């Protein structure tokens, strides 16, 4: 099925449907399951997304890589029996519209709320995500409150980014923020971040733009309506415990995730919307 001149619906061997984008601007793949971007290659550049070589694209299982959507909570819920990172990653989203112009391709999907157990999310609301694809990728996750009471949630765009060598990679732009790591803190981030161990930093009071300096070039990650972000690399021991993740792949990836967590929790009043946005590009 074709949605525009450059966008069609394709299917993996395992049966998962995805938007396949081949345009003068870029190539991309966006899976309907989880509304998950797994490939974004601006014309003349290399892929801005990282996906594990062990990924097998199975129904009901979030893809290890790309941009999983963590919603309506990030991380481990206070109820330990509930799924980590919420319930949006494994649900098949509804394709809403595809708009192609000379400047960008816009692909919008919505989460069918009837698919979400009310035990996890009982509020009257709408959740939509829009991908704006050009020489950069912009992801806009919008919660709209359709009920009569405010609701609050935590969320993240769990972005996996590539590097040829994590030990030669640095993250600039987090100086001045505070972070919690492994349940301890907050600590002050005083310098550029380098990687020499497992990293799982949850930042607050973070500036709106960070740059990731890799041997292959500089990746810029910017955010709107987000004063928090997460920086993650599993390093050696945790890599051995992760599903769909090769033991040495920690050397070739990192996550820098736009988020609304900790004191940056998102509260949406009746009739209002909140849009978490991240934009990623090669500098």
Is the Cβ–Cβ distance between 243 and 84 less than 8 Å?
Answer: no
Q: Over the stretch 175-220, which tens digit does the pLDDT of each residue have?
A: 999 999 999 999 999 999 999 999 999 999 999 999 999 999 999 9
The three-state secondary structure class of 82 is coil
- Per-residue b or e along 253-264, where b marks 16 or more CB atoms closer than 10 Å to that residue's CB: bbbbbbbbbbeb
pLDDT at 76: 86
Task: Single out the catalytic residue among 149, 257, 263, 274.
Answer: 257
Give the predicted TM-score (pTM) of the model. Answer: 0.97
pLDDT at 15: 95
Q: Is 158 a catalytic residue?
A: yes
Is the Cβ–Cβ distance between 176 and 207 less than 8 Å?
Answer: yes
Q: Is 213 a catalytic residue?
A: no
Q: Which two tokens stand for residue 150?
A: 């405010």
User: Domain spans of the chain?
Assistant: 16-282
If you average pLDDT over residues 221-247, what whole number do you get? 97
pLDDT at 2: 65
Degrees (nearest 5) of the Cα angle 130, 89, 83? 145
If you average pLDDT over residues 57-81, what whole number do you get? 94
Q: Over the stretch 53-68, which tens digit does the pLDDT of each residue have?
A: 999 999 999 899 999 9
Q: How does residue 4 score in pLDDT terms, banded at 50, 70 and 90? A: confident
Of 181, 10, 154, which Cα lies nearest the Cα of 69? 154
Architecture per CATH, 16-282: Distorted Sandwich (2.70)
Task: Single out the catalytic residue among 158, 213, 237, 248.
Answer: 158
């Amino acid at each position: 099925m074709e949605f525009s001149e450059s966008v069609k619906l394709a299917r993996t061997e395992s049966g998962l449907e995805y938007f396949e984008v081949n345009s003068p601007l870029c190539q991309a793949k966006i899976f309907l399951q989880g509304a998950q971007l797994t490939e974004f290659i601006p014309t003349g550049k290399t892929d801005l997304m990282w996906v594990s070589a062990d990924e097998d694209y199975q129904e009901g299982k979030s893809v290890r890589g790309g941009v999983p959507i963590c919603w309506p909570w990030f991380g481990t819920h206070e109820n330990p029996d509930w799924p980590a990172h919420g319930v949006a990653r494994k649900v098949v989203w509804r394709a809403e519209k595809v708009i192609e112009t000379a400047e960008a391709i816009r692909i919008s999907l919505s989460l069918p709320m009837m698919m979400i157990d009310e035990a996890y999310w009982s509020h009257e609301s709408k959740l939509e995500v829009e991908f704006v694809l050009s020489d950069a990728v912009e992801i806009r996750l919008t919660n709209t409150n359709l009920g009569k009471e405010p609701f609050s949630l935590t969320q993240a765009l769990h972005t996996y980014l590539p590097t040829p060598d994590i030990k030669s990679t640095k993250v600039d732009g987090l100086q001045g923020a505070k972070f919690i790591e492994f349940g301890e803190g907050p600590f002050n981030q005083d310098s550029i971040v380098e990687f020499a161990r497992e990293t799982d930093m949850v930042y607050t009071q973070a500036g709106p733009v960070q740059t990731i300096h890799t041997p292959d070039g500089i990746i810029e990650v910017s955010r709107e309506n987000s004063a928090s972000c997460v920086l993650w690399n599993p390093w050696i021991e945790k890599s051995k415990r992760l599903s769909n993740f090769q033991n040495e792949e920690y050397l070739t990836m990192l996550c820098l995730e736009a988020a609304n967590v900790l004191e940056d929790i998102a509260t949406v009043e009746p009739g209002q919307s909140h849009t978490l946005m991240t934009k990623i590009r090669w500098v």
